[in-house]
């Protein structure tokens, strides 16, 4: 089974080491890791098309959905997840913490959320989705979410694949 590893981890200073660790973890579970860093493309369009091809060839996607440069997951990862879902591929997302969207926004903005018309609002005065989910409903509903990292996501994928 081929697994596409989605997430902002490709931007880490130790991205190549992260990729090797991901490959080893996947192999230990009997899977082949497909990692965006494996491509030779260097242009934006080339990278996009290569990643789309990898997702098409994958049997499933594991996605790091932790906050990236703000309160929400990496936008590129969200596109990859949406594309995989549109192809009807299983997607397992992983998060470091068990917290709701409102808890995460409050933590990352460094203050309690205000309330307007009975609904939580962030420091910009915008309503925060409050369904008690860890992510926006468009991710939290279709994606199987686990707390932990890649190892926990692989375990969840094995459980889903066994059914």
140 and 79 in a common domain:
yes
42 phi and psi, to 5 degrees?
-125, -10
Contacts of 108 (CB under 8 A, 6+ apart): 67, 70, 71
What Å distances lie between residue 106 and 94, 109, 113, CA to CA? Answer: 20, 5, 6
Answer yes or no: is pLDDT of 81 > 90.
yes
Chain segment 12-54, per-residue pLDDT in tens: 999 999 999 999 999 999 999 999 998 778 899 999 999 999 9
Q: 30 in helix, strand or coil?
A: coil
116 and 57 in a common domain:
no
What's the CA gap between 134 and 148, in Å, rounded? 13
Number of domains in the chain: 2
113 and 42 in a common domain:
no
Whole-prediction pTM value? 0.96
pLDDT-derived band at 66, boundaries 50, 70, 90? very high
115 and 85 in a common domain:
no
113 and 156 in a common domain:
no
Domain residue limits at 30 = 2-98+136-162
Q: Which CATH number is 87's domain given?
A: 3.40.50.450
């Amino acid at each position: 089974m081929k697994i596409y590893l989605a997430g902002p981890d490709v931007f880490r200073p130790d991205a190549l080491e992260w990729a090797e660790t991901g490959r080893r973890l996947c192999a230990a579970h009997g899977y082949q890791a497909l990692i965006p860093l494996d491509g030779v493309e260097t242009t934006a369009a080339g990278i996009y098309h290569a990643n789309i091809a990898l997702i098409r060839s994958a049997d499933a996607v594991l996605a790091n959905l932790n906050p990236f440069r703000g309160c929400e997951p990496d936008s590129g990862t969200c596109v990859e997840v949406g594309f995989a879902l549109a192809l009807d591929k299983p997607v397992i997302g992983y998060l470091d913490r068990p917290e709701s969207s409102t808890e995460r926004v409050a933590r990352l903005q460094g203050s309690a959320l205000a309330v307007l018309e009975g609904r939580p609002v962030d420091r910009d005065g915008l309503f925060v989705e409050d369904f008690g989910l860890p992510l926006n409903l468009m991710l939290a509903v279709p994606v199987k979410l686990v707390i932990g990292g890649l190892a926990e996501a692989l375990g969840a994928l094995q459980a889903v694949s066994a059914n």
